Amino acid sequence: MTRLCLSVAPVILLSVCVSPASPSTVNPCCYYPCQNKGVCMRVGWEDYECDCTRTGYFGINCTLPEFWTRLRVLLKPSPAVYHFILTHCKWLWDIINTTFVRDTLMKLVLTVRANLIPSPPTYNSAYGYISWESYANVSYFTRVLPPVPEDCPTPMGTSGKKQLPDPQLLAEKFLLRRQFQRDPRGTNLMFAFFAQHFTHQFFKTSGKMGPGFTKALGHGVDLGHLYGDNLERQHQLRLFKDGKLKYQLRDGEMYPPTVLEAEVHMIYPPGTPKEKKLAVGQEVFGLLPGLMMYATLWLREHNRVCEVLKQEHPTWSDEQLFQTARLVLIGETIKIVVEEYVQHLSGYFLRLKFDPELLFDVQFQYRNRIAVEFNQLYHWHGLMPDSFVIQGKEYSYQQFIYNTSMLMDYGVEALVESFSKQIAGKVGGGQSINTHLLKVAVGVIEESRLLRLQPFNEYRKRFSMKPYKSFQELTGEEEKAAALEELYGDINALEFYPGLLLEKPQPNSMFGESMVETGAPFSLKGLFGNPICSPEYWKPSTFGGAAGFEIVKTASLQKLVCRNVRRCPFVSFHVPEPSTETGTTGDHQAKNPSTEL
């Protein structure tokens, strides 16, 4: 049995080495003594053990590397080094992308990233230790790190002050936007709304059940935002003819039905007429025209794919057409997310590839669980501008939110083109969130405290990054660092979500290092861990034969839009270059007040 007073710094001896009966005994796991993914287990009143099994390390605190671990650490470049390599020397990457080396590197990216996510899941917000409940109860979000023990001296363990800073004060001082700043990578609102609509299928916190619970029991890409998250809702949205979903026609174009035609619960302001309430799978999509625009595109795509499948298989039932079309759309979604959405996020010159067969010869689990940490980090409200410009007309937040007529008044093409041309705001570095959205950030901070998330630096260590030694190192700004020091008292007491947003961004990047290194493993594991990517599913027959399989393998954002509208507009996740349209991007930007602030 290892005595804590033999393995921790002398400065904490007085608070730990006391008699078992003493009420001042500190849970030794509050000090996070176990390193390199070692598991801390309290033993008796004063002792602990670190389980170093299969970590590649040994010793009291799992700090002594085994031979092969020492060699791997010696040869492995830091995240900053390989980020630099992947974002420089474009001419070299243009060559690599045309050779077999691309597949080799993509396979390496997938295996290294995915292996950082525990599968099967380990913890949830009720159980900070391995339990059957953590595995089997899918009503919970899972967790990568267990909660901070309840009996610790400070909210973050042992570091920092006994009381965390007021969430509202924290948000107003460090997260509230003073002046609109453009995203340095040219990200547009088409990307911002895609991020929102895509993640709302698996980020569905269940407030009624308590913190740490989710209503999205699919835990991944299942297109619940289109089909609903339960069978009753799905049936209300289905036409039950030729596999199609219900719809309405306006000027010959297809739109979602109203709640009069599909009786599902949708969230709209009180007094909204039922004929103005559009009905889709995700109940909150009426909030923003950009979300309903994507819902409309996927509705049209589903019904279009059903027609393709019916032509190929005239004997198929409505049920088989519907179920197969859903699999095709899931495949299309993952293809677009990997090769366009994640590609844009990464800024890498390595061209990412959606090819499930890359993983067929390695051990890989085709089941995913959404983690609390992934849900927390994906709040990128800094992308939202200060106003919205549709065909040259500016709309304030009050005019844009719950605007139930904008979609059909302007049409899908106009919204796609307008959102593709309007620059999004920067996310990383702090002071990036519009005042109308600040309450969301406050809510995220409050939720993280209810869930007792471990400190930001503990997550950096968990995802193979070096912990920051100071707020100055985190932010790169003396004034901001001093203000954070005053509020938190210690860099090791900094909370997870504020740390992600306040970290200095990498050059020409949307975020800091931690957002990328923490978020990418969750994302890639969730995408390639989808059942359709498994050897049992990834074959033409799953998608209705060669025609359906080809739709999946050749999917793109442009095809999603242009196959479902009359006129193909400019569509991209990046604002257009001056040469890509009549009139320069600068001319367009001048009409957007957000870019002038």
Whether 195 and 290 have beta carbons less than 8 Å apart is answered as no
Does 379 qualify as catalytic in the annotation?
A: no
DSSP state at residue 143: E
Residue 93: how many CB atoms within 10 A of its CB? 19
Residue 214's DSSP bridge partners are 205
Whether 529 and 119 have beta carbons less than 8 Å apart is answered as yes
Report d(CA 185, CA 183) in Å as an integer.
6
Does 459 qualify as catalytic in the annotation?
A: no
Report d(CA 184, CA 574) in Å as an integer.
11
- Which residue, among 573, 549, 498, has the nearest Cα to 198 in the 3D structure? 573
Report d(CA 217, CA 210) in Å as an integer.
15
Report d(CA 139, CA 15) in Å as an integer.
38
From the list 200, 302, 381, 574, the catalytic residue is 200
Residue 441: how many CB atoms within 10 A of its CB? 25
Report d(CA 479, CA 486) in Å as an integer.
11
Instruction: Tell me how far apart the 2 most distant CA atoms of the chain are, in Å.
Output: 80
Beta strands (DSSP E) in 134-275 are 142-143, 248-250, 253-255
Dihedral class, residue 242 (left if φ above 0, else alpha if ψ from -120 to 50, else beta): left
What is the DSSP code string of 226-258?
Answer: HH-SSHHHHHHHB--STTPBP-EEETTEEEPPB
Report d(CA 107, CA 524) in Å as an integer.
11
From the list 378, 410, 488, 497, the catalytic residue is 378
Q: What's the per-residue H, E or C state across 400-460?
A: HCCCCCHHHHHCHHHHHHHHHHCECECCCCCCCECHHHHHHHHHHHHHHHHCCCCCHHHHH
Helices 438-450 & 167-174 angle (0-180, nearest 10): 140
Residue 180: how many CB atoms within 10 A of its CB? 20
The tokens for 489 are: 């008292």
Catalytic residues: 200, 378
